[in-house]
Amino acid sequence: MAGARLVPSAARLMGWVALALVGAVAAGLLRLIGLPRGLWAFVGAALMLGAAAYALQGEPLLPGHAVKADADPIQVDPAMLALRDDMVGRFRADTAYLIASDAMLRSGDSGNAVKAVIGGLHHYPSSMALWTGLGTVLATHDGGRVSPAALFAFSRAMRLAPEHPAPFFFAGLAYVRAGEFAKARRYWARALAVTPAGVSYHGAIAERVALLDRFLAVEAAQ
């Protein structure tokens, strides 16, 4: 009987050891990728919340079973993420919220992806990158269309940085995804016009404008 009582205790102890290892590895990875210090408290609180949930509900002896996701993943184009990083930067305190939003989109949770960016805007209300990201994620969340809320976010980004191509380019991309190519062309033309020729992403914008022009020409000829 004593041995039987020891099995659950040992299993729970091993669960705590594994949880501690996960926390240590997570902290190491976050330090490695250069997470801004301002977000450490947020990450620490999330880890502590997980530990508390395990303490209350953890069942290490419960048999495992296959789990089906509640939502279908949303495809996040890595080329567009790379272009966004090139335009607005990646390892900054404000853009860290965009990375969190990307992860939520991949899991199919567009609602919380929106909330992640809005959370960032509470801390960085004048971030052009976050307003641009909010427009993009709102367009996804609203069924792949440039809703009034998405357009407001893009417009706010454009007012904050009228000579930066990112708000115009990603507004145009949202219109392309919505099938509104003529509107997209107007925004992409502006993005190209404000991008210096020597900037690394100038060619990527110019190429997409040229492809869109060809498509519109074919469409007009039909």
Are 212 and 133 within one domain? yes
Residue 212 pLDDT more than 90?
A: yes
Residue 90: band (very low, low, confident or very high) from pLDDT cuts 50, 70, 90 = confident
By residue range, what is the domain housing residue 17? 2-57
Residue 118 pLDDT more than 90?
A: yes
Is 72 among the domain residues?
Answer: no
* pLDDT value of position 67: 47
Q: What is the pTM of this model?
A: 0.69
Is 10 among the domain residues?
Answer: yes
Residue 117 pLDDT more than 60?
A: yes
For residue 139, the Cα-to-chain-centroid distance in whole angstroms is 13
Are 115 and 21 within one domain? no
Please state the domain count of the chain: 2
pLDDT (tens digit, 9 = 90+) per residue, 189-207?
999 999 999 999 999 999 9
- Closest to 131 (Cα-Cα) out of 150, 105, 108: 150
Exposure of 157 by Cβ count < 10 A (0-12 exposed, 13-18 middle, 19+ buried)?
Answer: buried
pLDDT (tens digit, 9 = 90+) per residue, 149-161?
999 999 999 999 9
* pLDDT value of position 4: 46
Are 148 and 217 within one domain? yes
Q: How confident is the model over 167-172, as a mean pLDDT?
A: 97
Is 70 among the domain residues?
Answer: no
Share of the chain above pLDDT 90, in %: 58
Are 115 and 217 within one domain? yes
Are 14 and 107 within one domain? no
Is 71 among the domain residues?
Answer: no
Listed range (56-60, 83-87, 97-101, 115-119) with the worst mean pLDDT: 56-60
Are 89 and 156 within one domain? yes
Distance CA 167, CA 178 (A): 17
CB-based contacts of 86: which residues, under 8 Å, 6+ apart? 200, 201
Are 53 and 87 within one domain? no
* pLDDT value of position 218: 87
Is 162 among the domain residues?
Answer: yes
Is 108 among the domain residues?
Answer: yes
Are 179 and 108 within one domain? yes
Angle at 70 between CA 69 and CA 72, to 5 degrees: 75
Are 32 and 108 within one domain? no
Is 161 among the domain residues?
Answer: yes
More confident residue, 18 or 170: 170
Is 85 among the domain residues?
Answer: yes
How many C-alpha atoms does 34 have within 13 Å on its Cβ side? 5
